[in-house]
Structure 1
Amino acid sequence: MTKTAWVFPGQGSQTLGMGMDLLDIAFAKEKFVEAEAILGWSIIDICQSNEEKLSRTLYTQPILYVIESILADILKEKEKPDLVAGHSLGEYIALYVAGVFDWSTGLYLVKRRAEIMDEAAGGMMAALMNFDREELEKLIAETPDVVLANDNSPAQVVISGTPDGVRKVMSEVKAKRAIPLRTSGGFHSHLMTAAATEFQEILDSVIFESAIIPVLSNVEPTPTIDAEILKHRLTKQMTGSVRWREIVLQLPENGIERVIEVGPGNVLTGLIKRTVSGLTLENIRSTADLPAECVV
């Protein structure tokens, strides 16, 4: 059997109209209704017509959780992954698929995470493409208010920190492209410490189960099924770096030959392609990508 990993994208992969094809499936419609009861607002309304809300952290994160988890649940009728991982917010879907918590608990955690992160202010993030890694690491070391937030691939990273610090690094690093990101704060940095402390209390109130599928965590890219380790890693995620490049390097190390990205877009399969070779890459972005026998 071909060993397969499922990976789940995070914020930035959302697109207007995503998930609306799922309304033709009775099980999915029920999930949207259940989600509205937990969230207090309609995913369908936002995905159909409100691009401004869709791009706001408060709404983006719960919407991605719901749509990606529904696609994963449908796909599970046909096959099961040998390993799971998610990028930032995507880690919550990975943990749900691995059986660490139930669906409504996961959505509650994501809802509260999104609310807390949406209120965070005062920071800035920027994506850098095709840069000199050694030079960048030196600049970050010399700029105390900036960190490497997302190490996505050998040629693409995101930095985070104070606006002055991020702009300084952007102006000094030799990169093909340096793009400021539209975020409400400096995510995955020390600027999220207060938010992480608030969220810690919420995480502490939730019981994690041992995973039935090994999970590669953002802050510690080695697979584990241990509930306490997975929770501890998640508590560090809001302020810690997303070590996606290292997660990808772990895939072949763990015998993975095939990777399925479950969720809108193809960001993660693109990053994987630029990091390792020889893996079969697939995307399940909508019901059109699902095996025919899964769509009922």
Structure 2
Amino acid sequence: MLAIVCPGQGAQKPGFLSPWRELPGVEQTVASLSEAAGVDLLRHGTESDADTLRDTAVAQPLLVAAGIVAAAQLNADESLPGADVIAGHSVGELTAAALAGVLSDEDAMRLVAVRSQAMATAAAAEPTGMAAVVGGSRDEVLAVIERHGLHPANINSAAQIVAAGSLDAIAALREDGPAKARVIPLQVAGAFHTPFMAGAREELTAFTPSLSPTDPTVPLVSNASGEVVTEGSRYLDLIVTQVASPVDWEACMATLRDRGVTAMIEVAPAGTLTGLAKRDLKGIALADLNTPDDLDAARALVREHAGIAPTADQEN
């Protein structure tokens, strides 16, 4: 059983879209996605530096577009079966919605444009940030985060929780963190997935009635406690709430485990979610789809876990 997963903000790297633009039709696809988002995604994905890509209003549309492009190239081989389940981390859940057929590519880009701008505006209202807490006892980590007046914004795994809140509180957490844990500041522009994003949630609430969601054609796992979404309208409710609520990726991985997933492919820019899976989903096969050079291995993984024998040409 195959899962396709889509990374969240922070996974972007300068130039990561460059290898994909060499493939036929990709520049035209990116141009169309750029028009829907109102952002020059080809320029940012091939030329912009790391500081520019940290801008929430740039990073989020770029990540969604890159995931759509990579997945489309993977599925260009019509002999391949589709994924059995799809999930995305934070903004990656918008990519996942497009891949699962809940949103058209255009609507996914329209939504991420509004989401990213709204979150950037909310983040600019006061100095806030995020820090990963790696290791330590889960209960103690959560207690120390609360003691410092911070919020658990991302529950990424049993050994990694991301705290978010004021910069002063983040600094205090670094000085007085949980036992046997490392506190690592993240290069993000605000306290995402916390009450600091309430204004962004209001903007999304006003925007989503303009969208036309459909029910997913593939099971779609939500960041909200790993719920499997079966209705498009339910997805919109959850994605609006998500901007100001914690991302529970640990619960998403538990759902993938419970559904019997045996292989996972992470679309570009890949590596973050397969890295978490190495620790929490031990034994499953993993593939990172970062460049077109990774397509053959990813397709072979799809065939293997669908029980399809390779042809002579594929073996060679």
User: TM-score, normalized by length of structure 1?
Assistant: 0.92
Q: Which range moved further: 224-233 or 3-12?
A: 224-233
Q: Deviation at 1:46?
A: 2.0
Q: Does the CA-based 8 Å contact 1:220-1:233 persist in structure 2?
A: no
Q: Does the CA-based 8 Å contact 2:9-2:60 persist in structure 1?
A: yes
Summarize the Cα distance change of 1:254–1:293 in structure 2 as closer, same or farther, 3 Å threshold.
Answer: closer
Alignment of 1:87-126 (within 5 A): 87-119=89-121, 120-121=123-124, 122=126, 123-126=128-131
1:126 counterpart SS class: strand
**C-alpha separation in 2, matches of 1:220 and 1:293:** 28
Q: Which range moved further: 28-37 or 80-89?
A: 28-37
Q: Deviation at 1:174?
A: 2.3
1:148 to 2:156 alignment: no
- Identical counterparts, % of pairs: 28
Q: Does the CA-based 8 Å contact 2:130-2:190 persist in structure 1?
A: yes
**1:288 equivalent among 265, 290, 293:** 293
Structure 1: runs of 5 or more not aligned: none
**C-alpha separation in 2, matches of 1:15 and 1:142:** 34
Q: CA RMSD in A?
A: 1.8
**C-alpha separation in 2, matches of 1:206 and 1:37:** 17
Q: Deviation at 1:91?
A: 0.3
**2:85 equivalent among 66, 83, 86:** 83
Note the alpha carbon deviations across 1:250-284, whole angstroms, 9 max, x for none. Answer: 11211111111111130100101111212111111
Aligned to 2:168: 164
**1:29 equivalent among 27, 30, 37:** 27
**C-alpha separation in 2, matches of 1:38 and 1:134:** 43
Q: Deviation at 1:118?
A: 1.5
Q: Which range moved further: 198-207 or 253-262?
A: 198-207
Q: Does the CA-based 8 Å contact 2:287-2:298 persist in structure 1?
A: no
Summarize the Cα distance change of 1:245–1:208 in structure 2 as closer, same or farther, 3 Å threshold.
Answer: same
Structure 2: runs of 5 or more not aligned: 300-316
1:33 counterpart SS class: helix
**C-alpha separation in 2, matches of 1:61 and 1:5:** 22
Aligned to 2:207: 202
1:216 to 2:226 alignment: no
**C-alpha separation in 2, matches of 1:187 and 1:257:** 31
Q: Deviation at 1:217?
A: 0.5
**C-alpha separation in 1, matches of 2:183 and 2:289:** 30
Aligned to 1:12: 10
Q: What is the identity, as a one-letter code, of the residue corresponding to 1:98?
A: A
1:186 counterpart SS class: coil
Structure 1's consecutive aligned runs of 4 or more residues displaced over 6 angstroms after TM superposition are none
**C-alpha separation in 2, matches of 1:40 and 1:93:** 17
**C-alpha separation in 1, matches of 2:81 and 2:171:** 46
Q: Deviation at 1:130?
A: 1.4
2:242 counterpart SS class: coil
Aligned to 2:281: 276
Q: Deviation at 1:44?
A: 2.3
Q: Which range moved further: 269-278 or 86-95?
A: 269-278
